[in-house]
Structure formats: C-alpha cells, structure tokens
Amino acid sequence: MDNNAADAKEITSYDDPDAPWNREYSAEEMAGWNDGVVREFRENNGQVGGDYAGATLLLLTTTGAKSGKQHVVPLGALYRGDVLYVSSFIEDRYPAWVHNAKADPRVTIELGGEKFAATAEVLTGARYDEFAAWALAENPLLAEYQAKVDKPLPLVVLTRNTE
C-alpha cells in the first residue's frame, strides 16, 4: 500500500488540477480503477493510498437493477452526526449504484475492517431538499460542483440493519 497520507494534498476546490477527477486517464486505467481500490481497501482494513490516502472510504455493494449481480463501488464515507451517507459527482447521468439502490435498497457496507448489512435510502422530495441544504453548506466541494451541473447530486443515507 502506498500510504502517503502525510504527502496527500488537500483538495479545496473542485477545479483543482491535482484532484483525481480532473486528471487524464487512459481507458485501460479507468476500466480497472475500482478493482484496484477495492483490492487495496480489503487488504488493508479500509486504508488505501494514492489519491485517496487519508480519506475515509467505504465499499458499497448493491444488486444490479437489471443484471441481479452484485456490484461493489468505493465511495467517500460522509457523515451528518451519526448518519452515514454517500454522494457522487455526476456527469450526464447518475451512477449505476444510485439506480441499483433505488431498485433494491438492501446493501452491504464495508467500512474499515467491518462488514455489515444496511439499507440505502435515495433521498427525494422535502427530505432531499433539507438534507441537500445541509450537505452543500457543510461540503464545499459538493456545493462547488452542484453549482456547475443541472441535476441534483445524489444523496443516499445508509442505515445499518440491526437484525
């Protein structure tokens, strides 16, 4: 693991040219991007290096809305008090994990060295509006990006199942 948390540059602007989302990657690099992050996450109890050194990531496993297959995606773990939520910068469409969570809210979360069943709630309506106002006020990168796109950013609350 390339554990350079001390060397990781804090990204304070969505337009920062050093931000991972603003760099050029080949199609080959992008095709295996999540696979490498997932592998490193699992080998190191949730710690990863490189672009995400020092970040708190989680692995979200959803069931494909069309395929019925399990899909794993690394995401930044975000918190509102004790409430765990995830979001994503979007381009022209929402990521597959959002559609999958809408179709089947039963998900699995890997966070640190822990793995647990959870329920995903894709926020909509008044609940979305209230949560988005808070999230955008608290997360300047999300707010900066939201100002650049027409679609509302996805906000998904993840609640650990107690049974």
Q: How many CA atoms lie within 13 A of 131 on its CB side?
A: 23
Mean pLDDT, each 10-residue run in order, the chain (163 residues):
44 68 63 82 91 90 96 94 91 89 98 96 97 93 88 95 86
Can you give the residue ranges of every domain in the chain?
Answer: 55-160
pLDDT score for 34: 83
pTM of this structure: 0.82
pLDDT score for 60: 98
- H/E run at residue 34: helix 33-43
Provide the 3-class DSSP secondary structure of residue 127: helix
Report yes or no: 91 and 21 within 8 Å, Cβ to Cβ. Answer: no
Q: Which class does domain 55-160 fall in?
A: mainly beta
- The span from the CA of 41 to the CA of 56, in Å, is 10
The length of the chain is 163
Report yes or no: 80 and 131 within 8 Å, Cβ to Cβ. Answer: yes
pLDDT score for 31: 61
